Structure 1
Amino acid sequence: MLERELQRLFGFQTFKEGQKDIIEALMAGNDVFAMLPTGRGKSLCYQLPAFLARGLTVVVSPLLSLMEDQVAQLKKAGRKQVVALNSFSSKQERQKLLQQLNDYKIVYLSPEMLQAQDVLSALRSQLISYFIIDEAHCISYWGHDFRADYLRLREVKAALDHPPTLAITATADENVRKDIKIQLQLRQPVEILDRVNRENIALFVERYETNEQKVIRLKEIVREYELPGLVYAQTRAQAEWYCEQLQRDCPELSVGYYHGGMDSMDRMLVQEQFLSNQLDLICATNAFGMGVNKQDIRFIIHLQQPLDVASYLQEIGRAGRDGSPSFALVLLSPEDPFYASRLIQNRVEETMSLETLPQLLAMPFNSKSEQRMRLEQSYGEQGQTILFLLEKWDVIVDDKGTWKNQHETISKLKTYFEKQEQRRQHRLDTMTEYSENHNQCRRHLLLHPFDEHVRLQAICCDICGATLDSFQKQKHESTKDIFQWDEELANIFNQPYLERGAKR
């Protein structure tokens, strides 16, 4: 019985809702698309089958921190046959790992790592039991914009002889689900879709005339309301700035910041401190939180207008995983809509005109990676997407960059990026409706894109009469422990922290 294996391998007595259905469908050899709400244990849905299978399970994961966190959790649970292969690995470590794939049951990789020929060749020599795309919404959200290797996963899947594939996420509306299935070329997938509503999270929006008023309100909340909490800002500079304000004016609290521009080891240090209750609060960009398994986050605050409903649901779903009442709050100011619109604009046109693309590709290059790097330097994050589309459309004739139908192709590229911008604008409009609403249940507006109906519940949103009073802090003594973080991180990464060149 699966329950017996669940207890033997992971120590759990029973499955959470939806888990067993997904596991059984995958183990029966089906392609599966699954959507479970945050905190429901999505990773178990592929980890259990992986340890029961004969071969190796490949897990595609979007973030280094997410891979390392899941590997660390499995090893702490006694499951040692798991490894992450990413840019953190040195050339020697990578070669050694690829030679020892027989020793593992699960290997975590990024979509970019799967484009390396030595990695793909080593995987093809293995019996691949399952092909897993964790946080599968990234295919539709990131693949079309700046991580085109997500769109190449169908080729990887074919190269591995089409193993049973699971695409799993917490939030995906009908259009995103359709796009994921098309991009992965899932074969008659079994669909298991659970509701996305988190009933224990109350929803609030507050409006202020200036950013200074927002800062004052933020300081009030972190002093008066139950901790720990997570504060989201839109840019790296904002995350650091808000953190500095709180560190200066709320010295009784332990506050850190987190964003994608930090050194990898520094990011892991902040994450581990937060998980171990050494930090009361993190000010972060959306780079933080995916896969972070912390049960007792009491609130999520967004300091600017969120850009889309699905991402917002993902982010607020990191609160209240223990089932206790929690809240999600957006602090708005009049300039927020302008800055939100700027963030979703077509970034290709802001860097270099597509008209210069033929000359750029005609310049000599020594390797595909050099050509790719040149495009990224010239077109930013969209350079990867441009190269993917040119290959997909088969318009490059030779290694000198000669094109067929140059003007037509440039027009197609512009149309493509305009369409992606329109998609982002539609998502922003839906989120703006939520934020600027004054008379309709916020939960209804959040769930409507997912065709989910609101059920009557005691604590809903500010429109339905909920208040923040019930979340005020109770008096209690601090129970923070003192950790030796050099030793803790060394245990996770199996080598001394300082030797990895991390900043103190």
Structure 2
Amino acid sequence: MLERDLQRLFGFQSFKEGQKEIIEAFMAGNDVFAMLPTGRGKSLCYQLPAFLAEGLTIVVSPLLSLMEDQVAQLKKAGRKQVVALNSFSSKQERQKLLQQVNDYKIVYLSPEMLQAQDVVNSLSKQQISYFVIDEAHCISYWGHDFRADYLRLREVKALLDHPPTLAITATADETVRADIKNQLQLREPVEILDRVNRENITLFVEKYETTEQKMIRLKQIVQQYELPGLVYAQTRAQAEWYCEQLQRDCPELSIGYYHGGMDSMDRMLVQEQFLSNQLDLICATNAFGMGVNKQDIRFIIHLQQPLDVASYLQEIGRAGRDGLPSLALVLLSPEDPFYASRLIQNRVEERGSLEALPHILAMPFTNKSELRIRLEQSYGEQGQMILFLLEKWGVIVDDKGTWKNQHETITKLKAYFEKQEQTRQQRLDTMTVYSENHNQCRRNLLLRPFDEHARLQANCCDICGATLDSFQKQKQQPAKGLFQWDEELAYIFNQLYIERGTKGE
């Protein structure tokens, strides 16, 4: 019985909603696509099957900090047969781990690490019980955190002889779900979709004329409302600037910042400080939070217009995992729509014209890795996507720089990036409707892309009458049996008066 295994291995008495259905389908040998809301315990859906299986489970995870955190939690729970293989591992550590990989039940890897030939060769010799793609929306062209390295996972899956595969995420609309299943070539997958709605999170939007007014409001919230909290900014510079302002004006609080430009060890340190309650607040970009298992975050604040509904739902879903009331607030100012539109524009033509691609490919190269680096230097992160599409479309590239259908290929690339930008703009438009509306329930607007409708509830959103008053810090009451200071002084004077009266003074 799975409940007995759950109790024995993890100490839990029962499953959360959706977990058991996913586990049973996965352990029956099916490919599974699952969507569970943030905080519902997605990791248990593959950890329990992994420890019950004979062979090795491979978990593909997008963030180093997420891998390290899950490994640490499992080891703390007494599950020692787990390891993360990532860029923190030295060459010697990596070789040793690969030699001893059959001693483990779970190996966490980044999609980039699965492109290393020695890693794939070693894993292909093992008995692979399960193949898991965590945060599976990253594999979709149209997902909010798309990463080109995820697209090669189906090749790895084939090299591992197509083990039962679980693709799991918190938010994916119908288009993204279809793309994930197609990219991973899931075979008649069992699809288990839970509700996206988190009823204990109350939704608010406030508008201010200037950034200065927004900053004043932010200071009020962090000083007057229940902590801990998480504040999202759109750029690295903004995350640092807001952090500095709050540190200066709120010295009673411990505040840090987090973004992708920081050193990996510094990011992990900030995350650990937040998890261990050494920090009251983090100002971060969207690089922070994926998979972070902190139960008591009381508020999520976005300082600019969020770019799409799926990422916004995932980010606010980091609040209130303990089930207690929490709030999600967007602070808007007039310039936000302009900057949001700029952020969703593809930068491939800004980095380098696609018309220069034939020249780049004509330069001799010894292997695909060298070509990939060259494309990244010319086109940034989009260089990975260009190389993947060239391979997918059958464009022949060799070390002599020959490739076919040059003009046709460049036209297709431009069309692809234009479509991607149009999709982003449509998603931004949906999020703008959420922020600008004055008469429709905000919760229903968020849930509409997921074909979900909110049930009537108290503390739904500001449009439905919710207020922020209930989220303010509770004034500490004096301990039972003790007076307030003014009451205590009155008591002392009264006792003196009685005493003097007794003595006849």
**Could you say what secondary structure the match of 2:202 adopts?**
strand
CA apart distance, 1:144 = 9.9
Paired with 2:142 and 2:77, the residues of 1 have a C-alpha distance of: 32
Deviates more, 1:368-377 or 1:206-215: 368-377
**Could you say what secondary structure the match of 2:452 adopts?**
coil
Contact residue 138 and residue 145 of structure 2 kept, 8 A: no
Q: Unpaired segments of 5 or more residues in structure 1?
A: 478-504
What pairs up with 1:264-343 in 2 under 5 angstroms? 264-343=264-343
CA apart distance, 1:469 = 0.3
The TM-score normalised by the length of structure 1 is 0.93
What pairs up with 1:24-103 in 2 under 5 angstroms? 24-103=24-103
Aligned partner letter, 1:225: Y
Q: Which residue of 1 aligns with 2:464?
A: 464
Q: Which residue of 2 aligns with 1:347?
A: 347
Q: Which residue of 2 aligns with 1:119?
A: 119
- Give aligned-pair identity as a percent: 89
Contact residue 145 and residue 385 of structure 1 kept, 8 A: no
Aligned partner letter, 1:303: L
Q: Which residue of 1 aligns with 2:20?
A: 20
CA apart distance, 1:371 = 1.3
Aligned partner letter, 1:234: Q
Contact residue 124 and residue 159 of structure 1 kept, 8 A: yes
**Could you say what secondary structure the match of 1:262 adopts?**
coil
Contact residue 142 and residue 148 of structure 1 kept, 8 A: no
Paired with 2:311 and 2:398, the residues of 1 have a C-alpha distance of: 41
Aligned partner letter, 1:155: E
Contact residue 50 and residue 130 of structure 2 kept, 8 A: yes
Residues 27 and 330 (structure 1), Cα distance of their counterparts in 2 relative to 1, 3 Å cut: same
What pairs up with 1:436-451 in 2 under 5 angstroms? 436-451=436-451
1:390 aligns with 2:399: no
Contact residue 145 and residue 382 of structure 1 kept, 8 A: no
CA apart distance, 1:90 = 1.1
Contact residue 201 and residue 327 of structure 1 kept, 8 A: yes
Deviation string 1:175-220 (CA, Å, 9 cap, x unpaired) is: 1111111111110000111101000000000001111111000000
Paired with 1:145 and 1:280, the residues of 2 have a C-alpha distance of: 27
CA apart distance, 1:146 = 6.3
Contact residue 144 and residue 308 of structure 2 kept, 8 A: no
**Could you say what secondary structure the match of 1:470 adopts?**
helix
Q: Unpaired segments of 5 or more residues in structure 2?
A: 478-505
What pairs up with 1:366-377 in 2 under 5 angstroms? 366-377=366-377
**Could you say what secondary structure the match of 1:108 adopts?**
strand
Paired with 1:318 and 1:397, the residues of 2 have a C-alpha distance of: 44
**Could you say what secondary structure the match of 2:83 adopts?**
strand
Paired with 1:423 and 1:447, the residues of 2 have a C-alpha distance of: 18
The structure that has the greater radius of gyration is 2
Deviation string 1:413-468 (CA, Å, 9 cap, x unpaired) is: 10111111111111111111101111100000000100111100011000000000
Aligned partner letter, 1:435: S
Q: Which residue of 2 aligns with 1:452?
A: 452
Contact residue 144 and residue 385 of structure 1 kept, 8 A: no
**Could you say what secondary structure the match of 1:152 adopts?**
helix
Paired with 2:270 and 2:196, the residues of 1 have a C-alpha distance of: 28
Aligned partner letter, 1:183: Q
User: Aligned-pair RMSD on alpha carbons?
Assistant: 1.3
Contact residue 300 and residue 327 of structure 1 kept, 8 A: yes
Deviating beyond 4 angstroms after TM superposition, the runs of 4 or more aligned structure 1 residues are 141-146
Paired with 1:301 and 1:148, the residues of 2 have a C-alpha distance of: 29
**Could you say what secondary structure the match of 2:140 adopts?**
helix
Residues 325 and 145 (structure 1), Cα distance of their counterparts in 2 relative to 1, 3 Å cut: closer
CA apart distance, 1:63 = 0.7
Aligned partner letter, 1:75: K
**Could you say what secondary structure the match of 2:343 adopts?**
helix
CA apart distance, 1:375 = 0.6
Contact residue 137 and residue 144 of structure 2 kept, 8 A: no
CA apart distance, 1:143 = 7.6
Paired with 1:419 and 1:476, the residues of 2 have a C-alpha distance of: 55
CA apart distance, 1:365 = 2.2
Paired with 1:48 and 1:438, the residues of 2 have a C-alpha distance of: 46
